[in-house]
Structure 1
Amino acid sequence: MVEKVLAAVSFEGLMTEIREFEMPKVSADDGILRVEAVGVCGTDWPLYQNTKNPRILGHHVIGHVEKIGKNAAKRWGVKEGDRVTLEEYIPCGACHFCRMGEFRMCPETDLWRGSYRYGCSPISTAPALYGGYSQYMYLHPNTVLHKQPTYVPADQAALALPVSNGFEWACIDGGAGVGKTVVIQGPGQLGLSCAMAAKAAGADQVIISGLSADKDRLDVAKKIGADHTVDVQEVDLVERVHEITGGKMADLVIDCSAGGASVILSSINVVKHKGTILLGGYKHKPIPEFYSDELIKKCITMKGVRGHGYQSVEMAIEVIASGKYPLNELCTHTFSLSEVDYAMKTVAGKGAKGAISSTVLPWG
């Protein structure tokens, strides 16, 4: 096995440089992953902007087990050479949430606490290789991983986590299924994943909205499951949903947009009485108090959603592997390890144009 590892390290001031690291030694309880591909997540940009301590970003990871300890192999049910996807969470394994399988709620995985987490931990956390924008990654003893079939193209395999968010939100949290109308606001990576998940669950009507600048994404939405798309700058969303549903409105609305609080109001207006609204897009501002009156009047359930669970990742991997949906339509850009800075700028809308899902290939 090689002794040196190349990785793209992010520094304060939106700077990235390729650095060389020692290959970590493997004990009985951990391992090493040879990274095949890493999807660029929308959260990578704010992490890049807020880098205080140098770190290796990237957490939508697909790769092959390069080296693994005896205990780890038994615990994870994998062997050297197996292709796997990592969850970004590195949970404690002992708290109340971990025992319920809710790793994303484990305090030790909190993104802003500086805890162990793939694509977030600084390189000062030994043995440094906790990010996917690297040739190899360290597999912590508490890693949560999933086997991936070898025949799925790498860029599509790297979609497992964003697609799993779609299944978590639309199906597990939102109850999308037969007889349901689902409205999704925001045709980004997560919104498109929600649309695909809702349709895979059997939803009767899947409606996704966006801006005029999202035309290409809305076109892709129709190819992967959406029955209707709405350009909210050209068409009134409430009127269009009323028309499509014959006045019944939506059973479920999922807000995946980065828009302001007005998107929440439009969600309230398109959801039916006793319907459900899921908030998956951060607003970074208060929600007007008068919105609560509308929630009461219509008996609406509104809740925040974040990340994925073990079950939804398994669901995503199965659907991706089935080939039922043209996920190649989402995979628009690839970058090399030396282009990670440009990949970050692309996900922020400051780099390559027309990107939906970008992938970094560490060996490209």
Structure 2
Amino acid sequence: MTTIPEEMRAVVCHGPEDYRLETRPVPKPGPGEVLVRVVATGVCASDVKCFSGAPMFWGDEGRSGYCESGVTAGHEFVGQVVALGEGAGEKYGLAVGDHAVSEQIVPCGTCRYCRSGHYWMCQPHDIYGFHHATQGSWAEYMLFPAKALNYKLPETLNPRYGVFVEPLGCSIHAVERGNIGLSDVVVISGCGALGLGMVAAARMKSPARLIALDLNPHRLELARKCGADIVINPAETDAVAEIRALTDGYGCDVYIEATGAAKSVEQGLLAIRKLGTFVEFSVFREKVTVDWTIIGDSKELNLHGSHLSPGTYPTAIRMLEQGLLPMEDILTHTLPLEDFRKGIAIAADGSQSLKVVLEPGRAG
């Protein structure tokens, strides 16, 4: 039997650029709760933006932000079950020793969105790593609350790959929002870790042509491995002109924006055909300004947002189990928990990384 310590190390967020490695009590699971030892936890682009003080996380002009001070950071993770509260094992099909993941949002179950089945838009919006009710994964142990949505990982899956279930789930949802048809030309703009997940998920929809855009040649190579038919570097080629040339001058049917760069939004509005579908996934650090006339009077576009990963975790787990993504190429950096600042810096730079992973059990 694994001995559970009384205390653990955790990276606690106190404000922009004020994250501290602290000692905190190891939580004790109550009824319906699951305690896991964190095997691996990712550094997300939203973690980088939160750390750097982006307004949506901390607020500006008198508005309150999304992140609460004093919360353990981290929402991409895989853990090994070390203790189960009353009824949790039966509810989730989990046993001590299993590897498990949990959807990043813990829905309240009572707001209008939860009651209508749209739990991922839950009004309290308790996401791991941002609210006190849902302490995150940049720690040696973490608790899955009683209302969490938990999944056991198959024994055939490398446990470390479980850290990518959350990002891949988000990618799958973005692709589903595109309503891709068999005759569609689909463009994925941005081939970071999430964009690569979108390429792999879009490939499963069997579009007529799948195009990936990125400024990094290595990422474009990985996009081909994930299923892209054509890759374009907008720094070297006029992407809008090329997309139009490939579609008899019309433009692509579906454009999924996954860069977080304002230029990609404008590019997409120009590259998409009339009556096309534009999916916006990214979290932007600053506000984006575009010509909204294109959306309405010029092209009558279907404009879809994409948030979190409702109902996608089983598919994400299956895709990873089937080896549909080059995970050893995607998990580019692995660091001990105490090097979290280095991990944030690597992820923020982005030129040499895709997914940066912290392993709390890894020696420094």
TM-score (norm 1): 0.88
Q: Which residue identity does 1:25 align to in structure 2?
A: K
Query: Contact (CA 8 Å) 2:102, 2:144: kept in 1 or not?
Result: no
| Match of residue 347 from structure 1 | 347
Question: Does residue 156 of structure 1 match 2:161?
Answer: yes
Alignment of 1:94-105 (within 5 A): 94-105=110-121
| Match of residue 363 from structure 1 | 361
CA offset digits 1:127-146 (Å, max 9, x no partner): xx811111110121111112
| Match of residue 222 from structure 1 | 224
Q: Which residue identity does 1:190 align to in structure 2?
A: L
Q: Are residues 25 and 307 of structure 1, via their aligned partners in 2, closer, same or farther at CA, if it must alter by over 3 Å?
A: closer
Question: Does residue 145 of structure 1 match 2:150?
Answer: yes
Query: Contact (CA 8 Å) 2:39, 2:359: kept in 1 or not?
Result: yes
Name the count of aligned residue pairs: 345
Match of 1:47 among 41, 46, 50: 50
CA offset digits 1:130-186 (Å, max 9, x no partner): 11111110121111112212332344221111111111111x211224222111112
Q: Which residue identity does 1:217 align to in structure 2?
A: R
| Match of residue 89 from structure 1 | 105
Question: Does residue 189 of structure 1 match 2:193?
Answer: yes
Structure 2: where are the runs of 5+ without partners? 54-66
CA distance in 2, matches of 1:71, 1:191: 38
CA distance in 2, matches of 1:37, 1:163: 15
Give the match's secondary structure for 2:38: strand
Per the TM alignment, residue 286 of structure 1 is displaced from its structure 2 partner at its CA by 4.8
CA offset digits 1:286-339 (Å, max 9, x no partner): 534x43245333221112222110x21221111111113322221111011111
CA distance in 1, matches of 2:72, 2:24: 12
| Match of residue 120 from structure 1 | 130
Question: Does residue 303 of structure 1 match 2:307?
Answer: no
Q: Which residue identity does 2:30 align to in structure 1?
A: S
Query: Contact (CA 8 Å) 2:157, 2:321: kept in 1 or not?
Result: yes
Alignment of 1:1-364 (within 5 A): 1-2=3-4, 3-12=6-15, 14-50=17-53, 53-109=69-125, 116-122=126-132, 130-170=135-175, 172-211=176-215, 214-260=216-262, 262-283=263-284, 284-288=286-290, 290-293=291-294, 295-309=296-310, 311-349=311-349, 354-364=352-362
Q: Are residues 72 and 324 of structure 1, via their aligned partners in 2, closer, same or farther at CA, if it must alter by over 3 Å?
A: same
Q: Tell me the percent identity.
A: 24
Q: Which residue identity does 1:301 align to in structure 2?
A: N
Instruction: Tell which deviates more after alignment, 300-309 or 145-154.
Output: 145-154
CA distance in 2, matches of 1:209, 1:228: 9
Give the match's secondary structure for 2:72: coil
Structure 1: where are the runs of 5+ without partners? 110-115
CA distance in 2, matches of 1:34, 1:358: 19
Q: Are residues 225 and 100 of structure 1, via their aligned partners in 2, closer, same or farther at CA, if it must alter by over 3 Å?
A: farther
Give the match's secondary structure for 1:332: strand
Q: Are residues 77 and 282 of structure 1, via their aligned partners in 2, closer, same or farther at CA, if it must alter by over 3 Å?
A: same
| Match of residue 113 from structure 1 | none
CA distance in 2, matches of 1:315, 1:146: 12
Q: Are residues 101 and 346 of structure 1, via their aligned partners in 2, closer, same or farther at CA, if it must alter by over 3 Å?
A: farther
- RMSD between aligned residues: 2.1
Instruction: Tell which deviates more after alignment, 222-231 or 64-73.
Output: 64-73
TM-score (norm 2): 0.88
